[in-house]
């Protein structure tokens, strides 16, 4: 593939300035492949992608631009595959992240033409450290942030606005994924799956009261007849996680939980389905919806802690279209990769 360069040229916003630069590039036998105008305070910043003449050095090109009264704010190798309409590129990038939230850092790096984008804990992001415009922090949620760095040219406001719009779109998608949905059980009954709230405490307590000791033992791995009320808030609003309720009328008949592990690569999943609603597809619906929410939150894997003799979670995950790994002999941990 032929060599291409991406130039950022700061110039006065006056008629004829860009024409002089184009003529000078033509004199140097540079073929202009793309042009983007980025408004900046006090003028404009033109991004020009060129295929330089054989033997032309970057230093010679920068000197020629300076001779026209303009400033080359940055020059870096480019790829002709990047020469697509900006709006189309943004839509394609958004689609990639909606399909696979784990690609967010890579997609943001491409959108910003950054050298690197890293995911860090929000407490370590230090947004005040801008490094003269070469470093920018984007908050992802309350716990994490993306740090973008670019050495060859400072970020400009238009680029940051594009990145902010992309993150805003993804946040809307994530919020919509967490919204209520209607599912049908095998017997034709329709239920609502929605996120749990503190106000659901009484209904969730009643769910546990209606469950048999066997069902509660399979969920909590200890002999309990019901749950202490002090547990209810953590069941509904788990730290680093979310709860998912299956609601029939005013009754909660199923409860799922998704709790992120440190680092965010995996999340622990757990299910509780009232005895009279078991073997009716409700557990499968809860598992499938929790997998969707987990993918939207950027998790790559679900885990579940089971008794060594239990395979209920694995069978439920399989029916939900997932492919759980077979646990090691005597190991109660089931791993479920997310596609």
Walk along the chain (339 residues) and give the pLDDT tens digit of each residue: 468 899 999 988 888 889 999 999 999 999 998 888 887 877 788 889 999 999 999 999 999 999 999 999 889 888 766 666 677 778 888 888 877 777 889 999 988 889 999 999 988 999 999 999 999 999 887 678 999 999 988 998 888 988 988 888 887 777 677 789 999 999 999 999 999 999 999 999 999 999 999 999 999 888 888 888 899 999 999 988 999 999 999 999 999 999 999 888 899 999 999 999 999 999 999 999 999 999 888 899 999 988 777 788 999 999 999 999 987 766 678 999 987
Q: What is the CA radius of gyration of the chain?
A: 27
pLDDT value of residue 35: 87
Report yes or no: 338 and 289 within 8 Å, Cβ to Cβ.
no
H-helix segments, the chain: 17-27, 58-67, 86-99, 104-112, 157-177, 201-210, 213-220, 232-236, 282-296, 312-319
**What gap in Å lies between CA 150 and CA 6, rounded to an integer?**
13
Report yes or no: 185 and 280 within 8 Å, Cβ to Cβ.
yes
User: What one-character DSSP code corresponds to residue 261?
Assistant: P
**What gap in Å lies between CA 216 and CA 229, rounded to an integer?**
15
**What gap in Å lies between CA 164 and CA 159, rounded to an integer?**
9
pLDDT value of residue 1: 47
Q: Distances from the Cα of 319 to the Cαs of 216, 288, 312, in angstroms?
A: 22, 9, 11
pLDDT value of residue 142: 67
**What gap in Å lies between CA 221 and CA 306, rounded to an integer?**
8
Report yes or no: 26 and 53 within 8 Å, Cβ to Cβ.
no
CA atoms within 13 A on the CB side of 285: 27
Q: What angle do CA 283, 284, 290 make, to 5 degrees?
A: 90
**What gap in Å lies between CA 221 and CA 92, rounded to an integer?**
46
pLDDT value of residue 82: 62
**What gap in Å lies between CA 27 and CA 154, rounded to an integer?**
28
Report yes or no: 122 and 147 within 8 Å, Cβ to Cβ.
no
| Dihedral (Cα; 57, 63, 66, 71), 10-degree rounding | 40
pLDDT value of residue 157: 86
């Amino acid at each position: 593939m032929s060599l291409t360069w991406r130039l950022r040229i700061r110039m006065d916003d006056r008629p004829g300035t860009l024409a002089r630069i184009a003529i000078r590039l033509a004199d140097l036998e540079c073929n202009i492949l793309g042009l983007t105008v980025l408004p900046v305070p006090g003028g404009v910043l033109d991004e020009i992608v060129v295929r330089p003449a054989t033997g032309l050095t970057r230093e010679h090109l920068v000197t020629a631009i300076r001779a026209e009264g303009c400033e080359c704010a940055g020059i870096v190798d480019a790829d002709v595959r990047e020469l697509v309409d900006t709006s189309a590129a943004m839509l394609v990038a958004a689609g990639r992240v909606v399909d696979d939230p784990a690609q967010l850092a890579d997609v943001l790096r491409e959108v910003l033409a950054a050298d690197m984008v890293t995911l860090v804990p929000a407490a370590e992001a230090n947004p005040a450290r801008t490094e003269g415009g070469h470093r920018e922090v984007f908050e992802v949620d309350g716990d994490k942030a993306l740090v973008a760095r670019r050495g060859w040219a400072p970020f400009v406001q238009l680029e940051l606005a594009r990145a902010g719009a992309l993150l805003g779109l993804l946040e809307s998608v994530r919020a919509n994924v967490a919204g209520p949905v209607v599912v049908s059980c095998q017997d034709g009954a329709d239920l609502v799956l929605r996120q749990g709230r503190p106000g659901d405490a009484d209904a969730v307590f009643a769910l546990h009261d209606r469950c048999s000791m066997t069902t509660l033992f399979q969920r909590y791995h200890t002999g309990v007849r019901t749950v202490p009320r002090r547990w209810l808030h953590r069941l509904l609003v788990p730290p680093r996680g979310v709860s998912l309720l299956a609601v029939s009328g005013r009754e909660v008949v199923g409860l799922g939980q998704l709790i992120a592990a440190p680092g965010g690569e995996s999340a622990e999943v757990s299910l509780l389905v009232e005895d009279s609603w078991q073997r009716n597809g409700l557990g499968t619906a809860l598992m499938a919806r929790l997998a969707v929410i987990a993918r939207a939150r950027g998790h790559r894997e679900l885990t579940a802690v089971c008794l060594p003799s239990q395979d209920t979670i694995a069978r439920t995950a399989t029916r939900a279209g997932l492919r759980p790994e077979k646990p090691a002999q005597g190991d109660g941990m089931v791993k479920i990769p997310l596609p």
